[in-house]
Amino acid sequence: MTREVTVVEVALRDGSHAVKHQYTKEQVAEIVKGLDGANIPYIEVSHGDGVGGSSIQYGYSKVYDIDLIRIAKENATHSKIACLLLPGVGTVEDLKQAHAAGAEMVRVATHCTEADVSKQHIKFAKEELHMEVVGFLMMSHMVSPKKLLEQARLMESYGADVVYVTDSAGALLPDGVYERVHNLVINMGIPIGFHAHNNLGLAMANTISAYQAGASFLDGSARALGAGAGNTQTEVMIAVLDKMGVKTGVDLYKMMDVAEDIMSPMMTTPQIIDRNSITLGYAGVYSSFNLHAKRAAEQFGLDARDLLVECGKRKTVGGQEDIIFDVAAEMAHKNNS
């Protein structure tokens, strides 16, 4: 028996990494109009690292993300606008501003072992702002299904409406996705979602595995735009789900048109699985480390793959982008000594 799923489009958030957070107001307006016309239920808009992410550490946005949220809201007739917030990067004040600008859903993201730091933000969003709230457990490959369930239950206890298994490194294989998602589905009383990265070429397979395990929220990105090798390609995902008989409510042809006619001309480089992206998935490293590792490797005369593998050995997590340059400096010193 097939189930309906809710699609969340992330090209205006995760896709921001791929364009170095340089989306313009005009681009956001055009993309949102297209996605809204394709009947996408939720459109996530913010800096790639969430509201408040524009910084020297994560990369400066061309346009303040609160302004982009406002523009998105003005151009959506029925699609709801969502945003991402990483506690410690974004604050409750950022959340207030995002809500005032038009965000109706917030996805509060933490490392998969640190759900407790989401309590303040989830409770405030739910109880004070009356937003839809998603708990987003990043780097889910780093813990067992049992440990992930413990963390997901914390987010549920704080008031999360949905909890996501998030494959931030694109490191999970389909069976690993199934185990984690299914364990949450059968042991929790709220919907479960899944967010994939394509670093090992498995984003679509993993997304389908998540659906088969019981996930009812699935993320996609038009033209696969996202950190690393990008995310599950929305227009392909809709076509595959349609062939499976799964109802999404999304207009496939219009979604194809958004990807082909709007997103593709905006892309500065094609979203491909290159050697560094493969290394991200192989080493289990956060997908947004890709550009930072390239810069650090060039600066210190290293192979970016060696740097990413070393970051994987050290179990670095999202939010530690500054450590990449420290690791690179240490590796270069060893190489020259």
Active site members: 17
157 annotated binding-site participant:
no
Is 50 within 8 Å of 59 (Cβ atoms)?
no
Q: Provide the strand spans (E) within the chain.
A: 6-9, 42-44, 80-85, 105-111, 132-138, 162-166, 192-195, 217-220
For residue 61, say whether it is annotated as part of any ligand binding site.
Answer: no
Helix (H, G, I), strand (E, B) or coil at 153: helix
195 is in an annotated binding site: yes
How many CB atoms neighbour CB 251 within 10 A?
Answer: 15
**C-alpha closest to that of 150 among 112, 179, 119:** 112
197 a known binding residue?
yes
21 labeled part of a ligand binding site: no
Structural tokens at position 8 = 């969340």
Q: What DSSP line would sit under 74-91, residue for residue?
A: HT-SSPEEEEEE-BTTB-
Angle at 60 between CA 107 and CA 266, to 5 degrees: 80
Q: Residue 138: which region, alpha, beta or left (left: phi > 0; alpha: psi -120 to 50)?
A: beta
Give Cβ neighbours of residue 261 (< 8 Å, ≥ 6 apart): 34
Q: Measured in Å, how far apart are the chain's first and last C-alpha atoms?
A: 63
**42 in a labelled binding site:** no
Buried b (16+ CB within 10 A) or exposed e, 168-181: bbbbbbbebbbbbb
CA gyration radius, the chain: 18
What residues are designated binding site for substrate? 13-14, 168, 195, 286
